[in-house]
Amino acid sequence: MKFLLTVSLACILTGSLKQPQQLEDSIENSKIKISNRNKNIYSLGSQYELKKTLGDIKGIKGKDEISGEPVYTYKFNGLKVYFIKQRFESATITNPSYFILLAGATFSVGDQIDKFKRYFPQSYKSASKGDNLVIYITNHKTITDAYISFAINKMGYITSIWIGNDNS
């Protein structure tokens, strides 16, 4: 009994029983969209939706290295979208021709990191120039293994945007 009281007191004093603070912001997956300068909007859905929205382009078929399942990669000028078994897996934006809409706010390659301060203050505080800014993706308010990563150069500009599942 004395041992349990000692351990409990030590946990309280060191703060290990506190709720962890969230270091980054999150966004509901239904509020994430990719758009282009022609105002075509893709909602991270199926391959059919991608082609219907951004144009019919032939995908490159392959096999997933781990599961062996069929994978498809679609490359546009500055946008690469990856599917496993017809399901959206990830997207990478490397050109300002495409941008991401997060709950109505737009973010593009070339934007300053300061733009996040208003919309995603926790992620902004956690990020630094020359690093990545991360926003977690939720599904019905539950954190998933998916996130959005904005690569930031040392001058504070977005150099690429990655959206997807963490399959590590």
Query: For domain 17-165, which architecture applies?
Result: Sandwich (2.60)
Domains of the chain by residue range: 17-165
Residue 122's Cβ-count burial label (10 Å; 0-12, 13-18, 19+) is: middle
DSSP label at residue 29: G
Residues of the chain with pLDDT under 50: 1-21
pLDDT in tens, 103-116: 889 999 999 999 99
- Which pLDDT value is given to residue 22? 53
Provide the 10 A C-beta neighbour count for residue 137.
Answer: 21
Give the global pTM.
Answer: 0.83
The phi, psi pair for 61, rounded to 5°, reads: -90, 145
The helix, strand and coil proportions of the chain, stated in percent and rounded to the nearest 5, come to 20, 45, 35
Residue with tokens 């990719």: 34
pLDDT in tens, 48-78: 999 999 888 888 999 988 889 999 999 999 9
- Which pLDDT value is given to residue 23? 56
Q: Which long-range contacts (CB under 8 A, 24 or more apart) does 105-114 make?
A: 106/35, 107/150, 107/158, 107/161, 108/158, 108/161, 109/78, 109/158, 109/159, 109/160, 109/161, 110/157, 110/158, 111/157, 111/158, 112/156, 112/157, 112/158, 113/150, 113/152, 113/156, 113/157, 113/158, 114/156
**Count of CA atoms in the C-beta half-sphere (13 A) of 113:** 23
Token duo for residue 15: 């703060």
